[in-house]
Amino acid sequence: MVAMTRQQFIAALAPAVIQVRREGSPMLPSVRLAQYILETGGVIHSWYNLGGIKVLGASPNAYWQGQAVVKGTWEHVDGRNINTSAAFRAYSSVYHFMKDQDLLFMKARYDRVRLAKTPEEQAQMLLACGYATDPAYAAKLIAIINSNGLRQYDDEAAAAVKTTVFQGAKTVPILQGGMVEVIGYERAGTVWVPARALGSRLGGTIGWTGSKVTVNGQVLESLLDGGTGYVTMRALAASLNKKIEWEPSTRTVTII
């Protein structure tokens, strides 16, 4: 369990929320962040289920491998709240959870959620389509969006990504400790990552010779894009004695 301030919680999840939106998620980032604040109380648990998705006899997929945790919850039934317990899906990262949640939202039941154009409408449709039983669910989401200025993340996700070197390249989420650290690019089968942003977080000393990135004094093959130096994920990991895993089914790299 990771306890955070409200702003720390939002900042920790924003990269993943923005990334999945750019990958085609129907969910507005503002609504998604508000939902996660409401569902978790601002705590990121080690099973990374931020939206209360239950097992309910579902079959595993690329993002959910069938793991589960049983915990207490409550449902609004016949006008009153009922305490109960349920089996909830468990994930290896917040990114895996969000992508699995998007698969859920592709069901016909959530057509109106996908078609919603504004945060207010999408919040209302989540309630109308039965995502939650709390009759105040939509109002709570909208209040959280407004009080935390979450619409800025809708704008950020909609803004064009500025790149020249990686134009047309596929993006690759780089994961560590269940969180999205940075977004890399795959080019010709090699994943490139922003050296300073990721290397510094991994404890490295990042430098620049004028044409190449250095990591702890070691010069690495580099690409410069928009003022940011990129290095290969494999070379960066090797320089910092980190192990990495490529998950082809989800196109993610996990730093171990």
- The sign of the dihedral angle between the CA atoms of 212, 241, 3, 102 is positive
pTM of the predicted model as reported, rounded to 2 decimal places: 0.92
For residues 39-65, average pLDDT? 94
Q: What is the Cα–Cα distance from 196 to 205, expressed in whole angstroms?
A: 8
Kindly tell me if the per-residue pLDDT of 231 is higher than 50.
yes
Residue 34: name the closest of 15, 1, 8, 10 by CA.
10
Q: How confident is the model at residue 77 (pLDDT cuts 50, 70, 90)?
A: very low
Question: Average pLDDT, whole number, for the chain?
Answer: 93
**The predicted structure's pLDDT at residue 56:** 84
Please report the pLDDT score of residue 86 as a whole number.
82
Q: How would you classify the pairing of strands 80-89 and 170-176?
A: unpaired
Q: How confident is the model at residue 4 (pLDDT cuts 50, 70, 90)?
A: confident
> In whole angstroms, what is the distance from residue 222 CA to residue 230 CA?
6
Q: How many CA atoms lie within 13 A of 69 on its CB side?
A: 14
Residue 91 tokens read as 């994930």
Confidence of residue 82 (pLDDT cuts 50, 70, 90): low
Q: Cα(90)–Cα(81) distance, rounded to whole angstroms?
A: 25
CA gap 204, 202 in Å, rounded:
6
